[in-house]
Amino acid sequence: MKKITVAVVFGGASTEYEVSLESATSVLRNISHETFDVIMLGITKEGRWLRYTGPVDRIAKNEWQQPQYVTQAFLSPDRSVHGIVEIRDGNATVVPVDVVFPVLHGKNGEDGTIQGLLELASIPYVGCNVCASAVCMDKEMTHTILDYNGIRTAKWHAIKQWELTDFDATEAMLREKLHYPMFIKPANAGSSVGVSKVTDKESLRKGLETALQVDSKAIVEECIIGQEVETAVLGNQDPKAALVGEIVPKVEFYDYDAKYKDDSTDLYIPARISDETAGRIKAIALKAYKVLGCMGMTRVDFFIQKDGTIVLNEPNTIPGFTSISMYPKLWIAAGLPYDQLIETLIRLAIGQ
């Protein structure tokens, strides 16, 4: 049987470049080379596209850009190409690709941009389409759609850069609507990049300035106190949710370092909740998945408040795939091994 050619794309011009390298390394270590021919396509922080042919371990260490291992290459939007154009010694060679697995986090990866390129190229790809990727990346759009469909989220307000010109009025409005403490997030970023918890007027100003350095729009949310839990959704027309896992940060909140760099978080799979609560969470996750138009995969994050109220925190359409990431861990715990999870995602992308 002919192998399926999969291009695993990693890196990217994003604040989450390093996370992508970790995730891609895990995917490349676990993908079945008996079933798939794998092409490694890296994007530098500066946005340069390079085909990589070196050892997988160099990717996570960010040592993959060595000249002996890379060749200029890019995905062509020309549908007649249906793959990668590789430039070597001034000559262009076409490398056909059956499907792309974009292991890209944050801007230019899970916001609909590379998905749009792949739609132009008519190459199937793992994960959500352009629209779902864009609305799940933009927290204002996510909140708006979930609120409209009756799915409980934190109270929120979107702030643009120009609203800081009259900061006193903006601060008074947010204080009345959301109350301190509040969480501030860039509207279009993930992995807790640029996120801060603020407790007074001065920290609010600093938090908004930090978030608006990452994106042109910030989301300010009320502070929700509760258990942090997540579930992993997989599928297209008939998606399924895995187990519910619990995150217990040892720091004040589940920040970038806690997610990817250290052991400052305890994970419980399954979560320390009742079966009834787990069932409700999975049902809400599946409803959110459908109303947001998701396909392939999405991790959905929640809070459970003391009174049992379930609050959807946010969806993540290209969740972490590192060795400590919850999305693969939840499916492994549910009985789907890592290599089979990757194969399932690829087959969902190509409609098998």
Domain span(s) for CATH 3.30.470.20 in the chain: 135-152+225-350
For the chain, where do the domains classified as CATH 3.40.50.20 start and end? 4-125
Beta bridge partners of 245: 230
- As a whole number, the mean pLDDT across the chain is 94
What pLDDT does residue 260 have?
A: 47
Q: Give CA–CA dist 263/248, Å, rounded.
A: 11
> Are the CB atoms for 294 and 128 separated by under 8 Å?
yes
Alpha helix segments (H runs only) across the chain: 17-30, 57-60, 113-121, 130-137, 139-148, 167-178, 201-214, 256-260, 275-291, 326-333, 338-350
Query: 3-state secondary structure string, 17-76?
Result: HHHHHHHHHHHHHHCCCCCEEEEEEEECCCCCEEEECCCCHHHHCCCCCCHHHEEEEEEC
Measured distance CA(89)–CA(75) in Å, rounded: 18
Fold observed for domain 135-152+225-350: D-amino Acid Aminotransferase; Chain A, domain 1 (3.30.470)
Closest CA to 285 of 151, 172, 124, 136: 151
Q: What is the CA radius of gyration of the chain?
A: 20
Cα separation, 56 vs 16, whole angstroms: 19
Q: Which residue ranges of the chain lie beneath pLDDT 50?
A: 254-256, 258-260
Burial, 140: exposed, middle or buried (Cβ in 10 Å; 0-12, 13-18, 19+)? Answer: middle
Identify the pLDDT of residue 254. Answer: 46
Q: What pLDDT is recorded for position 194? A: 87
Q: What is the pLDDT of residues 222-263, one digit of tens each?
A: 999 999 999 999 999 999 999 999 999 876 654 445 444 556
Residue 193: what pLDDT? 77
End-to-end CA distance of the chain: 15
C-alpha span between 306 and 79 (Å, rounded): 53
> Which residues in the chain are classed under CATH 3.30.1490.20?
156-222
| pTM of the full structure | 0.93
Instruction: Report the topology of domain 156-222.
Output: Dna Ligase; domain 1 (3.30.1490)
Q: What is the pLDDT of residue 31?
A: 97
The dotted CATH code for 4-125 is 3.40.50.20
